Amino acid sequence: MGAGLLAALMHPLYAQRTLTGIVQDPQGAAIPFAVVELPARKLGVQANDEGLFSFPLPAGLTPADSLTFSALGYERRRVAVPAEAAATLRLAALPVSLSEVVVRPGVAEWVGFKGVPKSRGGYRQTILLREKNTGWQIARRCQPTADGYLTAVRFFVNPSHDCGKTGLRAPFRVRVYAADGPGGSPGTDLLTTSVLAAATNRGWITVDMNRYTISFPQRGVYVAMEWLHTSDEFLCRSISYNPESHQKMEQVNYEQSLASALVPTAEAHTWYHTIDYGWVSFNRRFAEQSQILDAAIQARSQP
């Protein structure tokens, strides 16, 4: 047996392999949509609604590499990369502290997106398979005219070009973040409970937020749509053609679209997030660089 092969057998962390497993709470219940990451390699996957994950690990890992597990409402945990092919990991729940809500006289206002949503398309995630999900969120900063609290959020949902109403009805998760991340990006989770919503038809879908007692300061918060794989019933197939070879290609999609509109660059406050790269400001410009896409997300503030 060659020395190289022997070394690979003795040190399985060095070889390319797939780690499978489940993320659970201390009582053994599955934690849905937990995130498994290799932070130093900028790689990660999201578990499904049953807490199950499948993570293709890169070759060349060393004992110094570690995995980070996190989930909404649970403490982040860092562990050494398991040498085994399967792993079970348990996360402790974060303590829940409810902020005091003081209702003052004043008129509630919708803030955030101000454009006219396009009738088709928008932001979307394709190829969202049960065994392949690297996370995708679109967030829009919403700023009220005075301090208050968050009473509702809404998203303008479109059917996609490929999946039509099949994709339109796929559930997504509502996320709310403080504007305290690097460079003013989304930062601290303000909504620490998984809140799922789904559209039935094209248009605005409103989610009541009163029960979560989230402060809505004048500096604003970010409201995000997070694409999730919840069921294969929302899968659909589409046909496309390679523009150079004209070869027909079949693609499996799982998607709904979050509508958008072109607005002046100064009025756009949209960011996107992947597990691999974190939060990035959406800065693709159109119309001779004077306009930019803005996500159709709004939030309602009650003083």
CA distance 33 to 22: 10
CA 194: distance to chain centroid?
A: 12
Fold of 109-302: Jelly Rolls (2.60.120)
**Which token pair is 233?**
């019933």
> What pTM value is reported for the model?
0.83
Confidence of residue 288 (pLDDT cuts 50, 70, 90): low
SS (H, E, C) 139-156: EEEECCCCCEEEEEEEEE
Does domain 3-90 fall under CATH 2.60.40.1120? My reply is: yes
Name the nearest CA neighbour of 34 among 167, 296, 228.
228
Q: How many CB atoms lie within 10 A of CB 16?
A: 10
Using alpha carbons, list the distances in angstroms from residue 90 to 13, 31, 34, 118. Answer: 22, 9, 11, 43
Residues counted in the chain: 303
Which range scores top for mean pLDDT: 80-84, 150-154, 258-262? 150-154
Domain boundaries defined on the chain:
3-90, 109-302
Quote the pLDDT of residue 97: 61
Q: What is the pLDDT of residues 267-278, one digit of tens each?
A: 678 999 988 889
Quote the pLDDT of residue 283: 75
